[in-house]
Amino acid sequence: MPRLESCTWSCSCAARGRHKTQQGDTATKAGEMLSSGGPSQVSAGHGARSPGGAGSTLNWSRHLVQRSVVLFVVGAFMALVLNLLQVQRNVTLFPEEVIATLFSSAWWVPPCCGTAAAVVGLLYPCIDSHLGEPHKFKREWASVMRCIAVFVGINHASAKLDFANNVQLSLTLAALSLGLWWTFDRSRSGLGLGITIAFVATLITQFLVYNGVYQYTSPDFLYIRSWLPCIFFSGGVTVGNIGRQLAMV
């Protein structure tokens, strides 16, 4: 009887040990599947993430379109008003058939300037994020509105102020434009983009004047006025600040 009981006890212990070993193997396999991620888990995770990714992409695209529309409208309106000032002061001269159109200005000026404003306004925050230097200096709408007012004043000064020669006017407007950048921007990307915009816009204007699309009175710098790059520089900085502020919304 003692031998039979000992044998029965040893058999039950062995069976219990094999059962625990099988449970351990099952738990180990389950842990490996969880750590590696099975096909069903990967597909389920992908399905859970897809709607969120698509929604964020849609929101980003919608926000980009809204910013572009706002920048286009602002650029077209400012170009219409400021170009009207230049035409009334006989700084720029268009052909007679063009002057007879709406607001005594060329029809293509507001759309072109609006498109340029949209491109520049979207480019400024993009360059900031690419360089890893987010612009944080005076980031509020009140500062943006003051920057617009200063830019309009600089453009108004180019048509109203009378100097002994164009060099003095150009130097004055250059100082005002740099002052606008220092007051409302102070970023290296803003300075670099402003100079680039002024250079490219001046070349395009020279090309248009050379082909007789319109002309300037008293040109002193390759068919145009020498102070025109200052206007383009300050305009680029102003539109860039508007684009940066819209990107924060």
Average pLDDT, integer, range 128-142:
79
Q: Are strands 92-93 and 215-216 parallel, antiparallel or unpaired?
A: antiparallel
What's residue 157's pLDDT?
85
Asked whether the predicted pLDDT for residue 206 surpasses 80, the reply is: yes
pLDDT level of residue 195 (50, 70, 90 thresholds): very high
User: In angstroms, rounded to a whole number, what is the distance separating the alpha carbons of residues 37 and 191?
Assistant: 51
pLDDT level of residue 92 (50, 70, 90 thresholds): low
What's residue 53's pLDDT?
66
Average pLDDT, integer, range 153-180:
86
SS (H, E, C) the chain: CHHHHHHHHHHHHHHHHHHHHHHHHHHHHHHHHHHHCCHHHHHHHHHHHHHHHHHHHHHHHHHHHHHHHHHHHHHHHHHHHHHHHHHHCCCEECCHHHHCCHHHCCCCHHHHHHHHHHHHHHHHHHHHHHHCCCCCCCCCHHHHHHHHHHHHHHHHHHHHCCCCCHHHHHHHHHHHHHHHHHHHCCCHHHHHHHHHHHHHHHHHHHHHHHCCCCEECCCCECCECCCHHHHHHHHHHHHHHHHHHHHHC
What's residue 82's pLDDT?
85
- Contact between residue 187 and residue 138 where contact means Cβ atoms under 8 Å apart: no
What's residue 96's pLDDT?
58
What's residue 40's pLDDT?
43
221-234 b/e (C-beta count within 10 Å ≥ 16 → b): eeebbbbbbbbbbb
Helix pair 39-88, 109-131: axis angle to 10 deg: 130
Asked whether the predicted pLDDT for residue 99 surpasses 60, the reply is: no
Asked whether the predicted pLDDT for residue 52 surpasses 80, the reply is: no
What's residue 241's pLDDT?
93
